[in-house]
Amino acid sequence: MSKPPGSLNLVRKLVLASIIVGLLPMILGFSLTYVSQRGAIQKTMGSAFQVLAHETGAKLSLLVNDLLDKAIELARSDALVRAAGEADRKYQGLGPEAVRERVERAAAHWKSSKDSERMDRPAVDMLEEFRQRNPAQYHLLVLTDREGAVVAASPRRAATRYLYRDEIEWEAAFDEGRGKLFIGDTTWDPELSAYTLNVAIPVRRNGEIFGVLILNHTVDRLFKSVTDVHIGHSDHTMLAASDGSLLFCPIFQIKNHTLSKGFSQAIFRENDGWTTTQVDVHYPGREAINGFAPVNFKIEDFSPKSLGGQRWYIFTSQNPEETYAPLRSLLHWTAFSAGIGSVILIVLAVLVVRTIVRPITLLRTQARDIIQGIQSLPMERRTTATPYVLPKIDIHTGDEIEDLAGTFYEMTGVLERTRRFLVETTHRLEEMAIRDELTGLYNRRHVLEELKTEFSRSVRFSLPLSCMEIDLDFFKDVNDRYGHQVGDRILRQISELFQKGFREPDILARIGGEEFLVILPQTDVQGALAKAERLREQVTQHVFTIDYGRTIRLTISIGVAVYPDERIQNIDHLVKIADDALYQSKRDGRNRVSRG
């Protein structure tokens, strides 16, 4: 019987049916793979960028706090307090009009005289010494009196002005004797041809403000602390103000770019997080993943005029090409494998349908065994880096089907290694987020979370809870005399000594430069004081190694707070009482334990 025109024979029908049946699952698999893997990549990278933004913001906050601590210490120095006090005595007994005339007369003669000789020499020397201890960080240091007139400056040749009372930083720091600590916005200084950050500290004596210390700080160190942080090759970490101005960016100049309203709304949040947007700074119109975190400064007596009235935010940006590169690689590899499979399917269908059905059925069965084996694993096993041993796909046909089986097995191995890599990376990032880099102890953020948990447990079950705050006595002198490398070595040694002095449930953390916090669950006041005294004696008797056989001895001051106490309603009260007790120990002469 002749075939009707256009009819297909059985081989062609089988080949065509095989192609259709093979293409439909392939397209569906591509779609499912794309959707599932894209979501997994977004979640993994978003979480990593969130941690990166948070840690960068915390590092920036620590740098700013360190800058302010040094400035406050300088403002409290005897030389500067004495110089401002002597300048203040010039106005004693004068009325407002006489004071104004005296200041204007001095300003008029400022340029015509040898300006450096009019300054207080010991105060100038103190400012010079401070600049030498902090090289390349300060353009100008100026000490003024209560009228804004220059008392001392470093470098002296840079003090081209006599009056600073009209400057916003001076007004905020003095404020008619009610001033507070001030941090300015990043501004362009035309005289220096550089961006700077002004800091103003009130100079006090017996609580009275009678002068202001102004520090013109470079932004290079802060800029690098933000922009030098990376995870991949094309990502950037940046700093923006709440008005949308881009402050620190490795591509755009400072304040030379403004974030779009939509992007600002996406990343300016109270809490850190991550999001996907199509209004990214560097890749607009393309879906990018952005991590973000607000910069929280732990600063007391902070002027509301600081930072130009704005708030700072850290956020990340990465080229979507790099972000989704693993997904594209997976899709390309899958497409390549599927293409080979299609060719093999067509050839074997034409040659011998019966031969091709059997190994494909076997391959499908064993592949399902692998999938079911993975799906049967408990969730905690899937989220650990323990390798999953894939069952060997056992097909021996001596042709492309066997190659396809081997390729599929290699692909599952690649996926398993990728899973382990992502799990290990996530675990490392989580550990970095809760540990102090220098000592390996818990950091401030983590210990406060633990304290919140222990406090809730103590309140719920009526259990005692003790909190111990520790500070190394005269540790600044160690840093000043031997250098910060020795100081870091001492901090590591004393951290090891502290760890030996506490039992398993106790939680030890480094919360500042030389400050430590210890949580003592289910420990009453007698037990806490006994532990504190024992620890103090151990430190007093311990010999700390500096280098090359040199040793020193140190002492510590400890403040102890114990719950239950009617003054303690939350962890802030508990920490505050321990902190007050610590400072009581310092006021009483150090090297002692005080209970709050």
Q: What is the pLDDT of residue 249?
A: 80
The strand pairing partners of 289, in sequence order, are 276
Pick the catalytic residue from 400, 454, 469, 514. Answer: 514
**Does residue 541 or residue 358 have the better pLDDT?**
541
Q: Provide the pLDDT for residue 244.
A: 83
49-73 pLDDT, tens digit each: 888 888 888 888 888 888 888 888 9
**Residues 235 and 309 grouped into a single domain:** yes
Burial of residue 576 (CB within 10 Å: 0-12, 13-18, 19+) is: middle
Q: Confidence band (pLDDT; 50, 70, 90) for 10?
A: very low
Residue 541 is assigned to a structural domain of this protein: yes
Residue 287 — pLDDT band, cuts 50, 70, 90?
confident
Residue 46 tokens read as 């978003």
Residue 166 within any structural domain of the chain: yes
451: domain CATH number is 3.30.70.270
For 255: left if phi > 0, alpha if psi spans -120 to 50, otherwise beta; the answer is left
Q: What's the CATH number where 70 sits?
A: 3.30.450.20
Whether 262 and 138 share a structural domain? yes
Catalytic residue list contains 424: no
Q: Are residues 416 and 293 in the same domain?
A: no
Are residues 194 and 120 located together in one domain of the fold? yes
> Are residues 590 and 459 located together in one domain of the fold?
yes
pLDDT band at 411 (very low <50, low <70, confident <90, very high): confident
- How far is residue 331's CA from residue 352's CA, in Å, rounded to a whole number? 30
Within a domain: residue 496?
A: yes
Boundaries of domain holding 475: 444-595
Query: Is residue 110 located within the same domain as residue 234?
Result: yes
The pLDDT of residue 428 is: 74
Same domain membership, residue 272 and residue 167: yes
- Whether 286 and 343 share a structural domain: no
**Residue 288 · residue 316 · CB < 8 Å:** no
Q: What is the rounded CA–CA span in Å between residue 361 and residue 555?
A: 76
| Length of the chain measured in residues | 596
Confidence class for position 11, pLDDT limits 50, 70, 90: very low
* Global model pTM greater than 0.85: no
Look at residue 558 in the predicted model and tell me its pLDDT. 97
Model confidence at 399, in pLDDT bands (50, 70, 90)?
Answer: confident
Domain closes at, from 378, 406, 434: 434
| pLDDT on residue 206 | 86
Cα-trace Rg, the chain:
34
Q: Is residue 1 part of a domain?
A: no
Position 520, amino acid: L
Distance in angstroms (rounded) separating the CA atoms of residues 463 and 125 = 56
Question: How does the average pLDDT of the chain come out, rounded?
Answer: 82
For residues 172 and 184, give the distance between their C-alpha atoms in angstroms, rounded to a whole number. Answer: 10
CA dihedral angle for residue 456, residue 461, residue 463, residue 468, rounded to 10 degrees: -10
Residues 291 and 114: their CA atoms lie apart, in Å, by 54
Which strand ranges, in their side-by-side order, compose the sheet holding 246-248?
Answer: 246-248, 236-241, 312-317, 284-294, 273-279
Contact 183, 307 (CB under 8 A): yes
Q: Which of 331, 316, 286, 285 is nearest to 36 (CA)?
A: 331
* Run of H or E residues at 563: strand 556-563
Proportion of the chain above pLDDT 90, given as a percent = 26
Beta-bridge mates of residue 188: 195
Contact 524, 534 (CB under 8 A): no
> Whole-angstrom Cα distance, residue 330 to residue 544?
55
Q: What is the pLDDT confidence band of residue 1, given thresholds at 50, 70 and 90?
A: very low
411 and 451 part of one domain: no
For residue 2, being part of any structural domain is answered with: no
Number of domains making up the chain: 3
Does residue 549 lie in a domain region? yes
If asked whether residues 475 and 413 sit together in one domain, one would say: no
Of 405, 434, 463, which marks where a domain is finished?
Answer: 434
Predicted confidence at residue 7, as pLDDT, reads 43
539 three-class SS: helix
pLDDT at 9 over 80: no
Same domain, 190 and 44: yes
Cα-based angle 55, 60, 63 (whole degrees, multiple of 5): 125
Structural domain contains residue 3: no
pLDDT digits (tens, 9 = 90+) for 72-84: 898 899 989 998 8
Over 80: is that where the pLDDT of 190 sits? no
Across residues 378-397, what is the average pLDDT? 63
| 145 and 103 part of one domain | yes
Domain boundary among the residues 406, 434, 462 is at 434
